[in-house]
Structure 1
Amino acid sequence: MSIEISKTHSLLTNAMDYRAARQDMIASNIANADTPYYKPRDIHFEDALIAKRNELYQNDSKQLKMAITNPRDLEPQSETSSLKPTLFFRDGQMARNDGNSVDIDVETTEMSKNSIMFNALIAAAKKDGAIFRSVIEASAKVS
């Protein structure tokens, strides 16, 4: 059994895991830049994080609730719990003569954007931990 620091901590942990997986995926694309017929892959996880956030904070204010007009109506089923990051092939780049469609400029740009987002998540996790650390230190001074 683990102690849950805050709801934000688990969301930050999931986001950092997904960002690390995306970094590996982009590095794999760059490593296969000369592999014939290789198609660049990417991972889309923003929908899964939004669903996790809504699950943690019960923030469904932007969703239209289904009205139950008859007591015999079935209860609506939540579909957000089955959302997971999805892997897809990045389309839109022109394939070279060998069928490879990896564009190094696109990959390095995506890698730098992903790295910036990962560093922002680390900074947010440090801030989240600093809040609890200051409370613990303040309570130690009182007693």
Structure 2
Amino acid sequence: MGINISRAHDLMQNAMDYRAARQDMIAGNIANADTPFYRPRDIRFEEMLTQKSEAIFADKTQTLQMSRTDGAHLSGVEGTTSTKPTTFFRDGHMARNDGNSVDLDVESSEMAKNSTMFNALTAALKKDSALFKSVIDASGKTS
């Protein structure tokens, strides 16, 4: 069992793992841009991370009820119970004559967004770890 730096540390590490898996999946889509009948794949993990975040940070003693000011309003929906990321086919684009539906512009854009999020998570983890290290260093100094 390792040292628990903060409640958010494990969540950020999980997010980085999923971002790395998504980067690999997008790279695979780009690599198969000329493969006949290839359908681009993607991974959805934000809902799962949201659930983990709520489990870590939520005050379980208090719940906020959704207000319904009209009988026609929809009632609140309970969150999903899945703890695994969802893999799906991204088929919003026209397939070419060979049946391939990879759009290099979309894949490049998704890769850039994913890379930016990965870099932000890396910076946040470094800052979180540096703060923990500074506390240890300060506690080791004698007056």
TM value normalised by structure 1: 0.83
What is the aligned partner in structure 1 of residue 118 from structure 2?
Answer: 118
Unpaired segments ≥5 residues, structure 1: 66-77
Number of residue equivalences: 131
Unpaired segments ≥5 residues, structure 2: 67-77
1:30 aligns with 2:38: no
What is the aligned partner in structure 2 of residue 129 from structure 1?
Answer: 129
CA offset at residue 24 of structure 1? 0.4
| Percent of matched pairs sharing the same residue | 64
1:2-54 deviations in whole A, cap 9, x for unaligned? Answer: 22221111001000000000000000000100111000000010000000001
What is the aligned partner in structure 1 of residue 86 from structure 2?
Answer: 86
CA offset at residue 82 of structure 1? 3.0
What is the aligned partner in structure 2 of residue 73 from structure 1?
Answer: none
The 2-side partners of 1:33 and 1:110 are apart by 15
User: What RMSD, in angstroms, separates the aligned Cα atoms of the two structures?
Assistant: 2.1
What is the aligned partner in structure 1 of residue 42 from structure 2?
Answer: 42
- Per the alignment, in what secondary structure is the counterpart of residue 142 of structure 1? coil
TM value normalised by structure 2: 0.83
Task: Name the aligned partner's letter for residue 37 of structure 1.
Answer: F
Task: Name the aligned partner's letter for residue 19 of structure 2.
Answer: R
